[in-house]
Structure 1
């Protein structure tokens, strides 16, 4: 087990995926009592979806800026 670090680690899709894998193993290992861990699993799934949605949205914003700069350059020619 890793020692506790006071430096927070960044949230990444890979870390969320590892956490989902870990919680899934706990749910399966606990059998009928595993359902107590479902809220955490659901939370992690939503966090991953939100992370991916944010990343996609930022990519759309960047594309808009690129298109806008292209239109501006054509007008000034």
Structure 2
């Protein structure tokens, strides 16, 4: 981490990490914390929270479908 104008900043990473339900869950937890901590001003963060919830649902639906595809393939070869 680096210090810029009195603010601790994480260095930018060029390594792309995969989007996982765990990462989205941590982001949801953090945004929920911000919303609660900011009281009435926290409402401004609701669109981000909604987006993350949708991303979580989409990812879980994709994982469920892929599991079904793998199962179908496994049964067709068995």
TM-score (structure 2 length as normaliser): 0.82
RMSD: 1.1
Quote the residue 2:31 is aligned against: 23
Count of residues in correspondence between the two structures: 70
Q: Is there any run of 5+ residues in structure 1 with no aligned partner, and where?
A: 71-77
Where does residue 43 of structure 1 map in the other structure? Answer: 51
Q: Distance in 2 between matches of 1:10 and 1:68?
A: 30
Residue 34, structure 1, aligned to residue 54, structure 2 = no
If each structure's helix is expressed as a fraction of its own residues, which one has the higher value? Answer: 1
> What TM-score do the two structures reach when normalised by structure 1?
0.83
Partner of 2:67: 59
Runs of 4+ in 1 over 2 A off after TM superposition: none
